[in-house]
Amino acid sequence: MSTILGYISEMIPYLFVALPIILLYRTIYNRMRGYGKTNVHREIGVTFFLVFMTALFSQTILTFLYTGPAVTRSFSNVNLIPFRVFLDNYYAITELNYWQPFIINFLGNICIFMPIGFMIPLLWSRFDRFWKVAFIGLGISLFIETIQLTQARSSDIDDLWLNTTGSMLGYCTFLAIKKLFPAVPGFFKKSNFHM
């Protein structure tokens, strides 16, 4: 729990900077596009999504700006062996009784991408397809891992399929809510496609 709280506390400075910029961007964008009356629910949704992406990037590709505990910079932290995460977590749990890698690395990498799989089809109906959401999740994960390689930080091929799985689970959650509450997606619709 302390590790999770640590991540959240590290996100806060980025969010304080990003939120006013996001709100200003949305205001200017809507005015330039000539949208008179905006959908409040949609604006809240888009703002939440952009804030979430800021938080995600702050802990994955913007950590070189962080002045707290040093980030290990070594290519020895690069894992190119698929599904090694299973062996590592099995050893940590059975031999060391150490659950943090499973919670942070395994479950964390899945859960952190679930909002992407949920929010994207909710806000942009053209992406309401399973394969599109999976492709977007994989693309974002690959972008993050590639940037981390250039920073000589920890990079793991298993993160790709864990993140993609998370985005797909997020999409399944979206489909379930859409089936149970068909009116929900309508709250976030817009007349024309825009960001």
pLDDT tens digit at each of 195 positions of the chain: 677 778 888 899 999 999 999 999 999 988 887 766 778 999 999 999 999 999 999 989 886 555 444 444 444 578 889 999 999 999 999 989 999 889 989 999 999 999 999 999 999 999 999 999 999 999 999 999 999 888 767 789 999 999 999 999 999 999 999 999 999 999 998 754 445
Give 171's Cβ-side CA count (13 Å radius): 22
Q: Domain spans of the chain?
A: 1-71, 75-189
Q: What are 150's two structure tokens?
A: 């250039």
The answer to whether the pTM exceeds 0.75 is yes
